[in-house]
Amino acid sequence: MSTATLTSGLVTVGPDTEAAPETRDGVTVAKQEAPMAAATVSRAAAAEAAEPSASFGERCSAFLRVVLPPLLGFAFIIGLWAMVAMKSTDFPGPAKTLDAAITLFSDPFYQNGPNDQGIGWNILSSLKRVAVGFGVAALVGIPMGFIIGRFAFMNSMLEPIISILRPVSPLAWLPIGLMVFKAADPASTWTIFICSIWPMILNTAQGVQRVPQDYLNVARVLNLSEFKIITKILFPSVLPYMLTGIRLSIGTAWLVIVAAEMLTGGVGIGFWVWDEWNNLKVEHIIIAIFVIGIVGLVLEQFLLLIARRFSYGNN
């Protein structure tokens, strides 16, 4: 049962158990469940609102039920923040931060030399690193997942290696990247590659192992060619698992890029945070925290959207 041990105690989760990955990691829980819940409620509310018999009052209360709790949440956190800021001398309050944000976003794409660029450039270069590292990880990880899932021998061979390497913080690989590439930029991309590849390999492998026996029996009875088996049966049934892997990878990649860029410098949102700390512009750090959160959320939702497209309605 080596396959089971490889795929059990980790982040991999099939498309049919969508709720499970959230329980694993406290950080991602809050980030993704709230908007999802809000989305379902708002859909329900929209359906209610479309009903002609619903009175104005009912519609108002339905709307409030959707909008009020998140608004209260934000109001609470901003209030708390304002209070803390009032007590402290160097912690900027919401008003000061908003002011700084308006200035910052009024010109997001300026360029004053390599160490002073607009926030837009910083976000884009971080996203570019994530895209490259993640893309290469997909190119390597997905085929590897197929091989591990399909051949028990490869699974037993690679399982111990993956089990040892997976828990290592990707930042530990950064010096290796620096040594090999002799430059900061590919080194942080390399870190992203390392952190993205594990969920992709493991989820794909699990998807391949979990292709329903019925579908494989159909393939055997029809005596389909290997090519048809891959295109008509394996790939479509593994796809949802693969997308889960991709979603988990991109979430981790976005977490890691900030830390990696803090260490390597250059242009990027992580470096920018560190740079603004050196400039003692704390309000910019707070803005960066919001920006990182929102970009992460958008990435996650985008991939959820794709995943839903390929769920075939058989849940």
Partner 1 sequence: MNAIVKVENVGMTFDTKKGRFVALQNVNLQIRQGEVVSLIGHSGCGKSTLLNLIAGLTLPTSGAMICNGREIAGPGPERAVVFQNHSLLPWLTCFENVHLAVERVFGAKEGKDKLKARTNAALEMVHMSHAAQKMPHEISGGMKQRIGIARAFAMEPKILLMDEPFGALDALTRASLQDELIGVMEKTGATVVMVTHDVDEAVLLSDRVVMMTNGPAATIGEILEVKLAKPRDRLQLAHDPHFAECRAAILEFLYQKQMKKAA
The footprint of partner 1 (CB under 8 A) covers 214-215, 217-218, 220-224, 228, 232-233, 236-237, 312-314
Nearer residue to partner 1 within complex by CB, 28 or 237: 237
User: CB 224 → partner 1: shortest distance, Å?
Assistant: 6
User: CB 16 → partner 1: shortest distance, Å?
Assistant: 12
User: CB 290 → partner 1: shortest distance, Å?
Assistant: 39
Nearer residue to partner 1 within complex by CB, 109 or 312: 312
Nearest in space to 130 (alpha carbons), one of 2, 298, 309 = 298
Integer Rg of the chain from CA: 23
DSSP string, 183-239: SHHHHHHHHHHHHHHHHHHHHHHHHHHTS-HHHHHHHHHHT--HHHIIIIIIHHHHH
In this structure, what are the phi and psi dihedrals at residue 98, rounded to the nearest 5 degrees?
-60, -45
Contact between 202 and 240 (Cβ < 8 Å): no
| Burial (CB count within 10 angstroms: exposed 0-12, middle 13-18, buried 19+), residue 248 | buried
User: CB 223 → partner 1: shortest distance, Å?
Assistant: 6
Nearer residue to partner 1 within complex by CB, 170 or 240: 240
User: CB 8 → partner 1: shortest distance, Å?
Assistant: 19
Nearer residue to partner 1 within complex by CB, 14 or 236: 236
Structural tokens at position 150: 């399909």
Structural tokens at position 253: 């990649």
Nearer residue to partner 1 within complex by CB, 119 or 208: 208
